[in-house]
């Protein structure tokens, strides 16, 4: 995995996944986001880093749509969102995204092991904190 920073889009897997999301028909994007989150949240055994990176990118997209959520201003994020186009996401994605992040941060996660081996796990965990916090907020009525 090519990684250049701890942000949700700062690795080859997330950048490629975002490119695919951006290129997908608008009607297919929700399913892609849900699938990435579910693959990580429901993974049995050791969670592969590629699944984790795609899920983190998906969780960041969901969090950005929440009140006060972190903006997507990364050049590797999906162009349709960085350009200001919204995506209508159902509220059930936020709890799924929290489950995915918790699975990624937990034991049996290659993402966690790779960051731990590099000595930068606290920095990587801190980058996920505002995403997870936004996912736990209640949406505006």
pLDDT tens string 80-120 = 777 666 788 998 999 999 999 999 999 999 999 999 999 99
The Cβ of residue 25 has, within 10 Å, a number of other Cβ atoms equal to 6
In which band, very low, low, confident or very high, does the pLDDT at 139 lie, cut at 50, 70 and 90?
A: low
In which band, very low, low, confident or very high, does the pLDDT at 1 lie, cut at 50, 70 and 90?
A: very low
Under 8 Å CB-to-CB from 13, ≥6 apart: which residues?
1, 49, 50, 53, 54
Q: What is the pLDDT of residue 67?
A: 82
Residue 77 has pLDDT above 90, yes or no: no
Ramachandran sector of residue 72 (left: φ over 0; alpha: ψ -120 to 50; beta: rest): beta
Cα angle 100-102-106, degrees, rounded to a multiple of 5: 120
Q: What is the pLDDT of residue 82?
A: 72
Report residue 37 as tokens. Answer: 């989150």
The percent of residues above 90 in pLDDT, for the chain, comes to 71
Tell me if residue 99 falls in helix, strand or coil.
helix
Q: How far is Cα 107 from Cα 30, in angstroms, rounded to an integer?
A: 28
Q: What's the rounded mean pLDDT across residues 17-30?
A: 93
Q: What's the rounded mean pLDDT across residues 4-8?
A: 88
């Amino acid at each position: 995995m090519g990684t250049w920073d701890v942000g949700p889009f700062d690795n080859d897997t997330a950048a490629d996944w975002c490119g695919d999301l951006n290129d997908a028909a608008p009607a297919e994007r929700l399913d892609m986001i849900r699938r990435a989150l579910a693959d990580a949240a429901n993974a049995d055994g050791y969670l592969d880093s590629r699944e984790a990176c795609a899920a983190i990118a998906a969780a960041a997209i969901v969090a950005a749509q929440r009140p006060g959520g972190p903006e997507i201003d990364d050049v590797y994020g999906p162009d349709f969102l960085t350009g200001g186009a919204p995506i209508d996401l159902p509220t059930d994605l936020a709890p799924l995204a929290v489950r995915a992040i918790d699975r990624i941060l937990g034991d049996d996660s290659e993402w966690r092991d790779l960051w731990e081996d590099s000595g930068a796990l606290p920095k990587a965990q801190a980058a996920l904190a505002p995403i997870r916090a936004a996912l736990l907020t209640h949406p505006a009525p």
